[in-house]
Structure 1
Amino acid sequence: MAYAWLVMWPAAVVASYYAGVRLRRRDLWLYVGALVAGTAANVVILGGAMLGLPLVAGLWVRARRQVIDAMHRQSEQLLREQVLRADQARDQERARIAREMHDVVAHRVSLMVLHAGALEVNASDARTVEAAALIGAVGREALTNLREVLGVLRSPAPERGPQPTLADLDRLLDQSRALGIVVNRHDEGEARPLPPTAERTAYRVVQEALTNVHKHAGDAETEVHVRYGSAELAVLVRNRPSLTGGGLPGSGWGLVGLRERVELVGGRLEAGPRAEGGFQVLAEIPTA
């Protein structure tokens, strides 16, 4: 209507002039009334177009924003529920794994400790008593470590005891020596306090390497080198060929898990047979 009015106003001016010149009084009053009514209708329509359309647009925008906000809130609620369900499923799976480990591993290790204690009490020769005592001590330590692992599985924030560091390395080597393996330790560089994560990783490297020696080369002489560098700690464990051969079966995952542990702290692990026979494990752990 506004466009039509803008287009037709020259014709309306000519019509008004013609009405003033030619129309009689009665027809003139009719023309003036129609002109006023048309002008009023045009003003109403134009005002409605100028004010009503923005009002309708504003109402539409508000409704759209409300719908979008409701969708966002629903999406966030669904995401929170999904996270809660995932946490619940993870906790249930951790508890199941903890129960399985307790039933399968802890029970067997407990029986080993009990039998070792009985053997220690009833054995007649000193060497058997010493070996039984060592088996019992190692078994009790394994139970302690297993309880810590089960505590981690059962609770997201378990209470943990002190973790082994390089200060406990001699005790670990003595356990292997008590089982009849010749283990020599060599330290290079200036010993100094290192970050706990680096020391724990180095301890686990030596522990896993000695475990492999016990499994696959039980009588082989073993060398443990600990080298303190300016920015890294190098741990080398290498053993000579076994004189008896054979050994216990392994899962094949020990070195894989050890490599993951070392790489997790930004280090590097190399493991493999030596050219002159035997096996070696080398870990380089950053300390800066």
Structure 2
Amino acid sequence: MTDGDAGIIERITPWALGAAVFLLSMASAAGSVGVESTLPGPVLVAVAAASAVAAARARRSLGPLAAVGAVAYAWLVMWPAAVAASYYAGTRLRRRDLWLYVGSAVAVLALSALVSHRSGGYRALVAGTPANVILTSGAMLGLPLVAGLWVRARRQVLAALRERAEQLRREQVLRAEQARAQERARIAREMHDVVAHRVSLMVLHAGALEVSAPDERTAEAAALIGGTGREALSNLREVLGVLRSQDSVRGPQPTLADLDRLLDQTRALGIVVARHDEGTARPLGPVVERTAYRVVQEALTNVHKHAADARTDVFVRYRPAELEVVVRNEPSAGASGDLPCSGWGLVGLRERVELVGGRLEAGPRDEGGFQVVAGIPAT
């Protein structure tokens, strides 16, 4: 059952109960399931209608239903409202109020028995004899009251089980968060001990080489290596900070505005790189621009590794619904073959692009060389 179906049943039930009380009250007054009354029809309809309205509103207030039920039974032996009141008393009243209700109900039953006994006839036989009074008391007071108490106990048990399940769920989430935090801390320590230490040594050696370089070209290369290493250390510190704490705040992330700086770093290594912008440039979301930057960065990294002397073209195409990034390199004369179309770098890159709803294709070109194409939704 869906929440919508439960809500519909919740709204219909009170009025269905009211309709049932009205029909049974009229049947009781007509003598079909009770004592036939000699009062005029409009009076009987008014009493039955009052019982029905009080029963429909019993969830909000039990007092009117109990009062109408007491009057209807003592006056007309009209029992449906009294039965509904006993049931709701079992589901809602606390112990002290419950005993007060039972005492009042016994008094009403005794009053009705006295009136029925004095009235004589069929009413005295049905509701005025001791045996029938005891039987009526059990049927009108005891059974509905026990049913209401059972329903209340069941609701309390279900509520306790739901609370327990929710508590277990919260504890499970907390344990999972603690496990993730511990794993992040472990990864951060290992990365710091291994990667950060090695990169720091690389920066130190690059600085020493820059100072003692025999020629200007070597000094420039050492300076470039040192600058790149320091930037890598800065990025690594950001990653380690995020790993150490879930609430860590990331520093400024690269966007398309930083793309030219990335291309200049590649050109400084002797690789010919050209940028081509197509379409009308427009501001995009930070996630879109950061993903596009990482696509170009990873593709250029593969060029560094496998085709260092190949001319490379970077295309940034502003489509109506997406940003397309293409990194394409020509065949490399110094490489043993084209760039591989698999590897952890491209696998991670594909996961990054697909995470934002995009697509990534990477593979060799028919005319030679390698190409990476990423389409990133920009809407």
Fold shared, TM-score > 0.5 on shorter chain = yes
After the TM superposition, which residues 57-206 of structure 1 pair with which residues of structure 2 at under 5 Å, given as runs?
57-206=147-296
Hey, what does 1:235 align to over in structure 2?
A: 325
State the SS of the aligned residue for 2:367: coil
Partner Cα separation in structure 2 for residue 86 and residue 173 of structure 1:
41
Q: After superposition, what is the alpha-carbon deviation per residue over 1:41-99, rounded to whole angstroms, capped at 9, x for unaligned?
A: 44324423432222222222222222222212111111111111111111111111111
Gaps of 5+ in 2: 1-124
Letter in 1 for 2:260: D
Letter in 1 for 2:230: R
CA gap of 1:210–1:39, structure 2 versus 1, over 3 A, is: same
Q: After superposition, what is the alpha-carbon deviation per residue over 1:239-284, rounded to whole angstroms, capped at 9, x for unaligned?
A: 1122122499998111111112222222221110011211011112
CA gap of 1:211–1:41, structure 2 versus 1, over 3 A, is: same
Partner Cα separation in structure 2 for residue 66 and residue 286 of structure 1:
50
Contact 1:215 1:249 in 2 (8 A): no
Letter in 2 for 1:258: L
CA gap of 1:223–1:191, structure 2 versus 1, over 3 A, is: same
State the SS of the aligned residue for 2:376: strand
State the SS of the aligned residue for 1:270: strand
Partner Cα separation in structure 2 for residue 169 and residue 97 of structure 1:
29
Contact 1:235 1:282 in 2 (8 A): yes
Hey, what does 1:281 align to over in structure 2?
A: 372
CA gap of 1:50–1:138, structure 2 versus 1, over 3 A, is: same
Deviation of the 1:227 alpha carbon:
1.9
Contact 1:97 1:153 in 2 (8 A): yes
CA gap of 1:246–1:287, structure 2 versus 1, over 3 A, is: same
Deviation of the 1:208 alpha carbon:
0.5
1:263 to 341, 354, 364: 354
Partner Cα separation in structure 1 for residue 144 and residue 281 of structure 2:
79
Partner Cα separation in structure 2 for residue 56 and residue 267 of structure 1:
62
State the SS of the aligned residue for 2:293: helix
Contact 1:215 1:250 in 2 (8 A): no
Letter in 2 for 1:92: Q
Partner Cα separation in structure 1 for residue 376 and residue 244 of structure 2:
30
Q: After superposition, what is the alpha-carbon deviation per residue over 1:13-49, rounded to whole angstroms, capped at 9, x for unaligned?
A: xxxxxxxxxxxxxxxxxxxxxx9xx942443244234
CA gap of 1:65–1:188, structure 2 versus 1, over 3 A, is: closer
CA gap of 1:122–1:44, structure 2 versus 1, over 3 A, is: same
State the SS of the aligned residue for 2:373: strand
CA gap of 1:157–1:103, structure 2 versus 1, over 3 A, is: same
State the SS of the aligned residue for 1:210: helix
Q: Does 1:211 align with 2:307?
A: no
CA gap of 1:140–1:246, structure 2 versus 1, over 3 A, is: farther
How many residues get paired? 252
Q: Does 1:253 align with 2:361?
A: no
Partner Cα separation in structure 2 for residue 115 and residue 134 of structure 1:
12
Gaps of 5+ in 1: 1-34
Contact 1:223 1:237 in 2 (8 A): yes
Deviation of the 1:195 alpha carbon:
2.0
State the SS of the aligned residue for 2:174: helix
Could you tell which deviates more after superposition, 99-108 or 38-47?
38-47
Q: After superposition, what is the alpha-carbon deviation per residue over 1:86-140, rounded to whole angstroms, capped at 9, x for unaligned?
A: 1111111111111111111111111111111111111111111101110111111
Contact 2:341 2:362 in 1 (8 A): no
Partner Cα separation in structure 2 for residue 244 and residue 203 of structure 1:
27
Q: Does 1:244 align with 2:337?
A: no
Structure ID, larger Rg: 1
Q: What TM-score results when the alignment is normalised by the length of structure 1?
A: 0.81
Letter in 1 for 2:168: L
Partner Cα separation in structure 1 for residue 178 and residue 287 of structure 2:
30
Partner Cα separation in structure 2 for residue 227 and residue 78 of structure 1:
50
| Identity across the alignment (%) | 80
Q: Which runs of 4+ in 1 moved over 4 A?
A: 246-251
